[in-house]
Amino acid sequence: MGSAHDIMQTYATKDLHAQFPDYDGWTWAILPAANSGSVMYRVTRYYHHRQQEAILAVSIEARPSAGCVSALLSVDADNQAVRYLLVPQGADVSGVPAGIGIFTMTAFGFSGGKLAWLSKKKNAMRYLPKESAHASSPMKSG
């Protein structure tokens, strides 16, 4: 059996792959997280005769830590690389710099200050996320 962290990471990876799918030419590499405790990825593709690059980080905290944000910003990347942070629904992203795009997890969110799995079961309580001022869309595909 896997731990709860492993299960959350599985769902987080699915959410990120939905934004940067392999079938659109994105290739994935796991990056060392530099003591931030978060998981980080570099995704790249060659599109319309130029290289596109994104640096992705995952935070499962109610408020992404300064260490996670600084680790995301400190990754050496192309000047055109975009940076995204994946957080549970309802996370406080007010401390995240404006240059970092925010994606929210589809399967996890904060309700009553606690991290909860957002079940698709018929009678489960649903948590509705508030709109994020940092919400971004990934690079456009063909």
Residue 134 lies in a domain: no
Provide mean pLDDT across the span 5-30. Answer: 90
Residue 108 lies in a domain: yes
For the ranges 62-71, 114-123, 124-133, which has the lowest average pLDDT?
Answer: 124-133
Residue 127 lies in a domain: no
Q: How many distinct structural domains can be found in the chain?
A: 1
Residue 103 lies in a domain: yes
Q: How many CA atoms lie within 13 A of 18 on its CB side?
A: 12
Q: pTM score > 0.85 for this model?
A: no
User: CB within 8 A of 80, min separation 6: which ones?
Assistant: 52, 53
Residue 110 lies in a domain: yes
Provide mean pLDDT across the span 50-58. Answer: 94
Instruction: List the structure tokens of 139.
Output: 């690079």
Residue 96 lies in a domain: yes
Q: What separation, in Å, do the N-terminal and C-terminal C-alpha atoms of the chain show?
A: 40
Reference 11, options 76, 108, 92, 85; nearest CA is 108
Query: Which of the four pLDDT bands, split at 50, 70 and 90, describes residue 46?
Result: very high
Residue 135 lies in a domain: no
Reference 41, options 132, 103, 91, 117; nearest CA is 103
Domain containing 17 equals: 4-117
Query: Which of the four pLDDT bands, split at 50, 70 and 90, describes residue 121?
Result: low
pLDDT at 123 exceeding the cut of 70: no
Domain at 48, CATH number: 3.40.1350
Could you tell me if 12 and 106 are in contact, meaning their C-beta atoms sit under 8 angstroms apart? no
Burial of 60 (0-12, 13-18, 19+ CB in 10 A): buried
Distance (Å, whole) CA 23 – CA 135: 24
Residue 126 lies in a domain: no
19 alpha-carbon distance from chain centroid: 9
